[in-house]
Amino acid sequence: MAGGPPRIDWDAITEEATQLLSDFIRIDTSNPPGREKAACDWLAAIFRREGIDDIAFYDASDGREHGAERMNMTATLSGDGSKPPLILLNHTDVVPVERQYWDFEPFSGAVTDGVIHGRGAIDMKSMGVMELMAMLIIKRHRLRQTRDIVYMALADEEAGGTWGIEWVERHHPELLDAEYVINEGGWGNAEIFGTRRPSFSCSISEKGPLWLRLVAEGRPGHGSVPHPDNALERLVRALARVQAWARPVTVVPELRGYFDRLYRHNILPEPTQGALETLAADNLIAKAILTNTVSTTTARAGFKHNVIPGVAEATLDCRLLPGQDPDAFIEQVRAIVDDPKVRVETVYVSNTPASPAQTELFGIIEDAVHDHVEEALVLPSVSAGFTDSRVFRQHGITAYGFIPILLEQEEAMTVHGHNERISVENLRLGTQILFETVHRLCS
């Protein structure tokens, strides 16, 4: 097609996207067990119907987990090869639900009053549909492309990616070939730090998970004769010291642009050390991106009311700022615990380099956002949680976390919570911004 933007019937596209998201939500991919194959089959059928036949399935079950149906897939729309590929990344699994707290059946995909309800409505089946629609529009309008566009639907993100991104990295590293990846990890907020001003986070990095286990050992005994070598009491003292530990507020280089932009637009004061400490002191989001955090998540000890246990364990979910050395942090934890009879064991560790914020893609994202939400800020950010982007960044590929929707705080809180939902208006906005981003980057 020669020159000029394609004429797109966005009402029809929105209606189609709404129906697709509702159908996608109805495929229950709660993880565990995941069973992402059903989602891959459904996606592949849509691509094939539209004439996108370059589809590949990657069965991560490998016969080891019979019937587990852990499946990954790609669908590729070829460009002329003059530029390297763009990957539109999503995960098809969702976190489980506590059905009794939901107002709507979580896997019904109900659409009422302009809202689509269900698990995955935000995280991240809506993005999966926006990515799908972007490819379908490009195909239907025969838009010329410089790059291959690869739709990549992965399994198991919500449980750490063993059967998804990490399996792909081990068995199909050739799939990690792209210049850019667009994935989850950031979205738009209607309000930021108490100011009503739309801002879209585009995450360029994320905090690194460091999962630790504290194991306290002591002398078992009869509960009627207390003694000072009680493993559970040792563990409680260790946990109390960890909780009381004040870790410094640090602005990592990846976040300078974020705080500078908020300052320039009068949302926050000049980001001096003192101002950021004040901010982190009463804002949990700010604290999460300005400090290494520790959450105590499980504890286990004892088996009988009148028996002093010989061992007690707890798990800590630590999240380190980009660039921090996990080994140095573990040494700090040991020093804080300060008890030779409490071992600190590493359960899982990962860290992620940052993607650059000065790229062609970042500029295109900013323009596409401003075309739709003129007054919006676009903020290069660091996400507090970790995503599949980490593996791409480790391979030197620029990966951005950018779901182009604009959420109220109460909507954002439904992610991994109850009554997850997205407005049809947001699905439309996201589909438009994402399509325009992809089209501009690839034409």
Using CB under 5 A, list all residues that contact Zn ion: 123-124, 184
**Which residues partner with 307 through β-bridges?**
222
Q: Is the Cβ–Cβ distance between 50 and 138 less than 8 Å?
A: no
DSSP three-state, residue 393: helix
**Cβ-Cβ contacts under 8 Å for 289 (sequence gap 6 or more):** 207, 255, 321, 381, 382, 384
Considering beta carbons, is residue 230 or 352 the nearer one to Zn ion?
352
Minimum CB separation from Zn ion for residue 275, in Å? 32
Minimum CB separation from Zn ion for residue 185, in Å? 8
Considering beta carbons, is residue 164 or 309 the nearer one to Zn ion?
164
Considering beta carbons, is residue 137 or 204 the nearer one to Zn ion?
204
Minimum CB separation from Zn ion for residue 233, in Å? 39
Tokens coding 72: 């990954």
Minimum CB separation from Zn ion for residue 157, in Å? 6
Amino acid in position 310: G
Considering beta carbons, is residue 95 or 344 the nearer one to Zn ion?
95
Considering beta carbons, is residue 119 or 147 the nearer one to Zn ion?
119
Minimum CB separation from Zn ion for residue 123, in Å? 4
Closest alpha carbon to 339 in 192, 236, 250 = 236
**Cβ-Cβ contacts under 8 Å for 355 (sequence gap 6 or more):** 204, 205, 393, 397, 398, 399, 400
State how far the Cα of 199 lies from the Cα of 189, in Å rounded to an integer: 5
Minimum CB separation from Zn ion for residue 433, in Å? 19
Q: How many residues does the chain have?
A: 443
State how far the Cα of 253 lies from the Cα of 322, in Å rounded to an integer: 9
Half-sphere exposure in the Cβ direction for 247 (13 Å, CA): 22
Considering beta carbons, is residue 123 or 436 the nearer one to Zn ion?
123
State how far the Cα of 94 lies from the Cα of 25, in Å rounded to an integer: 9
Considering beta carbons, is residue 73 or 415 the nearer one to Zn ion?
415
Minimum CB separation from Zn ion for residue 385, in Å? 8
Residue nearest to Zn ion according to CB distances in the complex? 123
Considering beta carbons, is residue 36 or 184 the nearer one to Zn ion?
184
Minimum CB separation from Zn ion for residue 144, in Å? 32
E strand map for 106-246:
111-112, 115-117, 149-154, 180-192, 195-206, 208-217, 221-222
Minimum CB separation from Zn ion for residue 134, in Å? 18
Considering beta carbons, is residue 151 or 259 the nearer one to Zn ion?
151
State how far the Cα of 64 lies from the Cα of 35, in Å rounded to an integer: 14
State how far the Cα of 151 lies from the Cα of 401, in Å rounded to an integer: 15
What DSSP letter does each residue of 317-356 carry, written as one string? EEEEPTT--HHHHHHHHHHHH--TTEEEEEEEE---PPPP
Tokens coding 38: 């059903």
Minimum CB separation from Zn ion for residue 366, in Å? 23
State how far the Cα of 409 lies from the Cα of 414, in Å rounded to an integer: 9
Considering beta carbons, is residue 124 or 135 the nearer one to Zn ion?
124
